[in-house]
Amino acid sequence: MHIPQFSILYVTNPLRSALFYRELFDRPPVEECPSFAMFVFDSGAKFALWARDQVEPRVSQEAGAMELAFPLADDASVDASFAKWQADGLTIAQPPTRMEFGYTCVALDPDGHRLRLYCPAPELV
């Protein structure tokens, strides 16, 4: 079985996106140049930003077609993080909402990729 440990978002400007994710992740990238930036987490997972016009093979799909989901411990944590995102000026796609899978909200990164905060419904934990 293959278990992904490396996610790559295709972005318009990796340096601009790296600034955004540096703040979101509260850590600097381990690698950064005009066409690529990469973050490595304590778990060993890697997250990169690659200039959309430099990707090989070329991509035809528009950016913003991916979602990063961040599980949180409780509804109050979702509300607090949402309030910070609003204060930071992130574009909000969905305010805190109770859905079938739990309590959630969605904001957008500079390229329109979705950032979802959620607290799973108790029956799903």
Instruction: State pLDDT tens for residues 55-104.
Output: 877 876 665 668 898 999 999 999 999 999 999 999 999 999 999 999 99
Domains of the chain: 6-54 (3.30.720.120), 67-124 (3.10.180.10)
Whether the pTM exceeds 0.85: the reply is: no
Check pLDDT > 70 for residue 122: yes
Residue-wise pLDDT for 6-51, tens only, equals: 999 999 999 999 999 999 999 999 999 999 999 999 999 999 999 9
b/e map of 44-68 (b: 16 or more CB within 10 Å)? eebbbbbbbeeeeeeeeeebbeeee
